[in-house]
Structure 1
Amino acid sequence: MRKGRTILVIGAAALLLLNMDMAFSASSTIRVIGPGAMHGWAFMQEPIGTGSGTGSMVYGPASPPMGKGSARLTVNNASDGMLLGVFGYNGVRLADIDGLKYWTYRTSGSNPYLAISLQFNIDKDVTDLDVSFQGRLVFEPYYTAGALPDNTWQEWDATAGKWWFTRPHLFGNQCDINNPCTWSYIISTFPNIGIHPVLGAVILKAGSGWASFDGNVDALTISVNGDSITYDFEPSFYTLTLSDPDATINIGDSVTASTETNDYTVDDVKFRWFNPSGVEVRTQTVSVTYDPVSETYKADDTFTPTAVGPWTIYAEFNDGTVLITTLNVGFMVVPESILGALGMVGAGIGVLAIRYMRNRQKPI
């Protein structure tokens, strides 16, 4: 009996370790997509180069699900088609996609059912030798939700919605635009269906039959076998921060000014330090370095101010963008965060002192 129990415990432990290994092997990545750092994504009119549809990265609208911005797509007549897409995920079976979500926002549309669709260049069987173009598989939110409100961000779980083929005759005349099918039905009917192994593409599209539309899309998440990438669509961003969170230091202390941008056209940043008298006492041009984790470009400059008072720091990016921040330098300055903590401690000591005095005054 003991031997049997020991084997059972070892087996359970091994299973636990296996599950832990599987859990830790999955990865989650956020990839910022924006001007100068599109990472293969591109706006395109469809048919190519025709119509008056537009695509751009913008701030807002309202409060996007991620970051400060989103991708905006507009069309102005039924012949317009406008998309934001990327080539990739070639040969990935739909059965291996275990997460597929994105957010849409509609400012206006020629009817209340329109929202940006999610599409794949599709292949009926990614394991065979037929690599001819077989059309697209399309998800449109209104098949799930019906009429959609204006000026509202909405999240869609595309694997829980309905899809249709643009060339249903290649798929047994099933799942056409008038009779969309569930994700699970498509996978069960076509076990090896997947993103085209040669012409693979992920597409976010507005138009082609829409009289007019103005809307946005953001935070597209694609997970394959537990490894997910979330695409955060943003306009170009630039930041300037100081190593001291209170922007307050003592004279003689060093401080680091740091910049970050997602614009790959930026090569360097010029840091300019002005003392309290307005005199420029330091100028340093620093080449940016690429951070593969955040997929942004960063530069730092460290300096030790030599005068008490408010300092001004300029960060001049070589694309013409200029950011400005201020730094307070004093003698033995106590940052506000510490003052707040000391105030709370002092208040607590005061309460204890009052209680102590009251206790001493009680008769024995």
Structure 2
Amino acid sequence: MKQLLLKSLALAVIAAAGHASAGVVVVTPADMNAGVNSWTLANYRGLSTGHTSTTVAAINTVNPRSGNGSVQMSLTDASGKADFAYAWGFDSTRTLGTLSALSYDWYRSSGGTSDTHLQPAMRLTYDADGDASTLGDRGYLIWEQVYNGGGMVLDTWNSSNILAGNYWQRQFSPGANVDNYIPLQEWMSAGRPATSDLLTANSAVLGIEFGIGSGWGGSFNGFVDNVTFGFNGESTTFNFEAVRAAEVPEPASALLVGLGLLGFAAARRRKSK
């Protein structure tokens, strides 16, 4: 019986290790702005930068989502703006064609005076031809709830799996919007808008970001957490926390510990006999 249990635990360890295609990374204020492969506060416009908006863009405990914190994003007038960006630059394995996961949790508080359809938007930064030496073909593909059906639910966390959603395009050069709201597959097809950057499955994804502002009128208060992106079936979820909690072993590690303890107990019993 003990041998059967040991064998079952071993198989469970193998299965858990074989399916470890997703990971969770905790991001605290101390982890921000640490260079490559870290989240960075970008495009901030607030009192400290000469604008009239009291803009907040920080990880805090005001409205925790999955633990003790989340990212608060708020502004008090149209001059405010803030983005949280994660950029990795050119990576041949990270393209529009290999993008396999994209989701996030977001929240809009009631009481703000900005347009009722606004919420923290998600953006993919692309390079259309996948060539680092050409600079005139970069931009954003932007996801917003208003272009994806369903009403805005205030004062509650919304979980949006946006991989198959509708996006519009913002071209860095010549600084123009392509206001078509279509899925990623259509942006990569021959039926894409004629005025758009020519995206394909080989278009490089250079990073992701979420943010508020850029001409929003009135006041706004919202939150973001659990941002997930992945390529080729491997994904990472970023859980924003005010304070890092004690590390919890991954399932495979916990099973290995359990297996070791069970084997040790069995050995002790044999020795005592």
Indicate the TM-score class for this superposition, using the shorter chain for normalisation. Answer: 0.5 to 0.7
Q: Note the alpha carbon deviations across 1:69-94, whole angstroms, 9 max, x for none.
A: 21011122223211111222634211
- 8 A Cα contact 1:112 1:147, kept in partner: no
- 8 A Cα contact 2:137 2:172, kept in partner: no
Q: Note the alpha carbon deviations across 1:117-136, whole angstroms, 9 max, x for none.
A: 11122211215742346222
User: In the alignment, which of 211, 214, 225 is matched to residue 218 of structure 1?
Assistant: 225
Matched, 1:34 2:36: no
**1:344 corresponding residue in structure 2:** none
Report the secondary structure of 2:239's partner residue: strand
**2:9 corresponding residue in structure 1:** none
**1:43 corresponding residue in structure 2:** 41
Q: Which has the higher contact order (CA 8 A, sep 6+)?
A: 2
CA distance in 2, matches of 1:201, 1:128: 14
**1:135 corresponding residue in structure 2:** 139
Q: TM-score, normalization: structure 2?
A: 0.68
**1:68 corresponding residue in structure 2:** 68
Task: Spell out the pairing of 1:291-310 with structure 2 (5 A cutoff).
Answer: none
**2:239 corresponding residue in structure 1:** 232
Question: Structure 1: which amino acid aligns with 2:208?
Answer: V
- 8 A Cα contact 1:98 1:226, kept in partner: yes
**2:88 corresponding residue in structure 1:** 88
CA distance in 1, matches of 2:160, 2:107: 11
CA distance in 1, matches of 2:136, 2:100: 26
CA distance in 2, matches of 1:47, 1:121: 20
Q: Note the alpha carbon deviations across 1:211-241, whole angstroms, 9 max, x for none.
A: 2211000001111101110000111245xxx
Q: Note the alpha carbon deviations across 1:242-272, whole angstroms, 9 max, x for none.
A: xxxxxxxxxxxxxxxxxx48xxxxxxxxxxx
Question: Structure 1: which amino acid aligns with 2:189?
Answer: S
Matched, 1:112 2:116: yes
- 8 A Cα contact 1:26 1:226, kept in partner: no
Task: Spell out the pairing of 1:283-294 with structure 2 (5 A cutoff).
Answer: none
Report the secondary structure of 2:160's partner residue: strand
**1:181 corresponding residue in structure 2:** 182
Question: Structure 2: which amino acid aligns with 1:222?
Answer: F
Shift of 1:188: 2.9
**2:5 corresponding residue in structure 1:** none
CA distance in 1, matches of 2:183, 2:213: 23
Question: Which runs of no fewer than 5 residues in structure 1 stay unpaired?
Answer: 1-19, 239-259, 262-290, 294-364
Which one has the largest radius of gyration? 1
CA distance in 2, matches of 1:29, 1:206: 27
* Closer/same/farther in 2, CA of residues 182 and 83 from structure 1, 3 Å limit: same
* Closer/same/farther in 2, CA of residues 146 and 46 from structure 1, 3 Å limit: farther
Shift of 1:168: 8.6
Question: Structure 2: which amino acid aligns with 1:220?
Answer: V
CA distance in 2, matches of 1:145, 1:103: 17
**2:161 corresponding residue in structure 1:** 157
* Closer/same/farther in 2, CA of residues 181 and 205 from structure 1, 3 Å limit: same
* Closer/same/farther in 2, CA of residues 193 and 292 from structure 1, 3 Å limit: farther
Question: Structure 2: which amino acid aligns with 1:69?
Answer: G
Q: TM-score, normalization: structure 1?
A: 0.52
Report the secondary structure of 1:112's partner residue: coil
**2:18 corresponding residue in structure 1:** 24
Q: Note the alpha carbon deviations across 1:93-124, whole angstroms, 9 max, x for none.
A: 11101110101000144122111011122211
Matched, 1:208 2:211: no
Question: Which runs of no fewer than 5 residues in structure 2 stay unpaired?
Answer: 1-13, 191-198, 251-273
Shift of 1:143: 0.9
Report the secondary structure of 1:210's partner residue: coil
* Closer/same/farther in 2, CA of residues 89 and 26 from structure 1, 3 Å limit: farther
* Closer/same/farther in 2, CA of residues 180 and 169 from structure 1, 3 Å limit: farther
Question: Structure 1: which amino acid aligns with 2:227?
Answer: L
Bigger shift: 74-83 or 36-45? 36-45
Question: Structure 2: which amino acid aligns with 1:143?
Answer: Y
CA distance in 2, matches of 1:187, 1:111: 31
CA distance in 1, matches of 2:130, 2:20: 24
CA distance in 2, matches of 1:139, 1:237: 30
Which protein is richer in strand relative to its size?
1
RMSD: 3.2
User: In the alignment, which of 105, 127, 130 is matched to residue 126 of structure 1?
Assistant: 130
Q: How many residues are paired up?
A: 214
